[in-house]
């Protein structure tokens, strides 16, 4: 199957305004997104997520590499490629606050060359689906942030484009509205068969709605895998070992050599060890260390990791996931 978004060896560097120093924002990244997928783009601040998103939606020209949407090159056929893509980049700031909900929708449709008459049924449908019908004549500056965010997504839907890019769609929303937005996004894919690429800091959002996650750090892709795979992988490898005694200094030294990322917490009589195993066989190495002083083991629990922990582990120790995948 041909990917709907194809990113190949894309690079982008900026020159800092004051120091004139070049900053490599995106460093030769490549990935594909297929029709109907919801892909999460994750990364710490300054990782290159927004730059990547802006290059995909044609607002930023890559220094090298290529991006195609529906097999249309965004560099040589930018305007044609834009017919297949829409985006919400700055949430509620992407709207005209002096216009009403309906007027905003009509204006943005008009800017894509769609007439009011032609777009009216779709606007009515979206107002219903996004629970904005009762506010259609309300000025945007009088809406809550959540409603503005929903409207921004509804506006992106008007283009009937195959791909929708969302930069931080739940930023600043209360729990209830955030949940509503998540439900809306899931429905967009299910009901309208659209492809969504989301950049977010909210791990719950990514875990809840994305099938696949691309983690970017320092402008490079650190991992690209299905969310469920990442969860399974890290769940298997993270253990909490409760010990009925304390580890000797020699044992602690060996642990540090063998498992550099372990955490050891002790009180007067007992201790707890948190450990990540790169390969399941490594558990025997742990037992060997414990056996040296016959340290009693009270329990071994597999840790339930959430997506936030996985993200932190991957971003902090980038090679960990690659090794784990190969094992």
Q: How far is the CB of 80 from another protein (least distance, A)?
A: 7
Among 54, 129, 145, 258, binds another protein (CB under 8 A): 54
Length of the chain equals 327
C-beta separation of 122 from 128 below 8 A: no
C-beta separation of 42 from 217 below 8 A: no
3-state secondary structure of 163: strand
**DSSP-assigned letter for residue 125:** H
Sequential DSSP letters for 4-29: SEEEEEEEEEEE-TTT--EEEEEEEE
Which x/- pattern over 66-85 shows residues binding another protein (rule: CB under 8 A)?
Answer: -------------xx-xx-x
Site for another protein in 97-126 (CB under 8 A): 97-99, 103, 106-116, 118
- Which of 146, 276 has the CB closer to another protein? 146
108: closest CA among 56, 55, 160?
A: 160
φ, ψ of residue 109 in degrees (nearest 5): -65, -45
Q: Which stretch binds another protein (CB under 8 A): 51-59, 194-202, 232-240, 288-296?
A: 51-59
Residue 159 burial (C-beta neighbours within 10 Å; 0-12, 13-18, 19+): buried
Site for another protein in 227-286 (CB under 8 A): none
173: closest CA among 235, 92, 230, 70?
A: 92
- Which of 113, 260 has the CB closer to another protein? 113
Among 60, 171, 297, 300, binds another protein (CB under 8 A): 60
Q: Which stretch binds another protein (CB under 8 A): 94-102, 184-192, 201-209, 216-224?
A: 94-102
Site for another protein in 149-168 (CB under 8 A): 155
Q: How far is the CB of 301 from another protein (least distance, A)?
A: 47
216 binds another protein (CB under 8 A): no
Among 87, 157, 181, 188, binds another protein (CB under 8 A): 87
In which residue are the tokens 């090679």 written?
319
Treating both helix axes as pointing N-terminal to C-terminal, what angle do 307-316 and 318-326 enclose, rounded to 10 degrees? Answer: 100
- Which of 95, 227 has the CB closer to another protein? 95
Q: How far is the CB of 110 from another protein (least distance, A)?
A: 2
Contacts with another protein, residue ranges (CB under 8 A) = 14, 51, 54, 57-61, 79-80, 82-83, 85-87, 89-90, 93-99, 103, 106-116, 118, 155
């Amino acid at each position: 199957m041909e990917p709907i978004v194809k990113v190949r060896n894309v690079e982008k560097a900026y020159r800092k305004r004051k120091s004139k120093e070049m900053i490599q924002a995106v460093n030769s990244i490549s990935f594909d997104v297929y029709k109907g997928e919801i892909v999460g783009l994750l990364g710490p601040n300054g990782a290159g997520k927004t730059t990547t998103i802006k290059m995909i939606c044609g607002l930023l020209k890559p220094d090298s590499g290529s991006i195609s949407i529906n097999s249309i090159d965004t560099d040589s056929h930018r305007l044609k490629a834009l017919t297949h893509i829409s985006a919400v980049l700055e949430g509620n700031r992407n709207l005209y606050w002096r216009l009403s909900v309906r007027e905003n929708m009509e204006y943005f449709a008009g800017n894509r060359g769609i007439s009011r008459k032609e777009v009216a049924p779709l606007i009515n449908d979206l107002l219903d689906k996004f629970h904005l019908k009762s506010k259609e004549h309300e000025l945007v500056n009088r809406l809550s942030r959540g409603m503005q965010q929903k409207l921004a997504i509804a506006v992106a839907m008007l283009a009937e484009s195959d791909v929708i890019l969302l930069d931080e769609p739940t930023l600043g929303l209360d729990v209830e509205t955030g949940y509503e937005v998540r439900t809306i996004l899931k429905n967009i894919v299910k009901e309208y068969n659209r492809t969504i690429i989301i950049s977010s800091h909210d791990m719950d959002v990514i875990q809840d709605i994305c099938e696949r996650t691309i983690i970017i750090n320092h402008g490079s892709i650190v991992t690209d895998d299905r969310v469920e795979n990442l969860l399974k992988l890290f769940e298997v490898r993270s253990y909490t070992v409760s010990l009925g005694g304390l580890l000797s200094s020699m044992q602690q030294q060996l642990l540090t050599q063998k498992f550099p990322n372990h955490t050891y917490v002790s009180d007067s009589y007992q201790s707890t060890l948190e450990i990540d195993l790169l390969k399941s066989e490594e558990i025997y190495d742990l037992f060997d260390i414990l056996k040296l002083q016959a340290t009693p083991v009270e329990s071994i629990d597999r840790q339930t990791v959430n997506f936030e922990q996985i993200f932190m582990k991957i971003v902090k120790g980038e090679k960990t996931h690659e090794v784990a995948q190969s094992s």
